[in-house]
Amino acid sequence: MEPDARIERAAPDGAARPSEEGEEARWELAEGEEIVPGRHAVTRLGGGHRYDAYLAWDDRLHALVVVKLVRPHLANDRHTLDGLAGEAEMLNRLSHPVILRGFDAVLDGPRPHLVLEHLEGPRLSTLIRRYGRLPAEQLLPLGLQLCSALHYMHGEGVVHLDVKPSNIIMGAPAQLIDLSVALTTEDAAAERHAIGTDGYMAPEQCDPPELGPIAPAADVFGLGVTLYRAAGEERPFSKQPDEPRTARERWPQLVEEPAPLDAPVSDAVRETIMSCLAFDPSERPTPAEVAARLEPELDALPKPRLSKLKPRRSR
List residues with catalytic annotation. Answer: 162
The DSSP H or E segment spanning 7 is strand 6-7
Cα 116 to Cα 185: distance, rounded to the nearest angstrom: 24
- Residue 273, φ and ψ in degrees, nearest 5: -60, -45
Closest CA to 222 of 140, 162, 152: 162
Name the β-bridge partners of 27: 16
115 phi and psi angles, rounded to 5 deg: -110, 120
Helices 287-299 and 267-275 sit at what angle, rounded to 10 degrees?
A: 170
Supply the DSSP string of 259-295, one letter for each residue.
PP--SSS-HHHHHHHHHTT-SSGGGSPPHHHHHHHHH
Positive or negative torsion for Cα 123, 113, 39, 46: positive
Could you tell me if 54 and 66 are in contact, meaning their C-beta atoms sit under 8 angstroms apart?
Answer: yes
Query: For the stretch 187-200, what's the b/e string if a residue is b when 16 or more beta carbons lie within 10 angstroms of its beta carbon?
Result: ebeebeebbbbbbb
User: What b/e readout covers 263-285, taking b as 16+ CB neighbours within 10 angstroms?
Assistant: bebeeebbebbbbbbbbebeebb
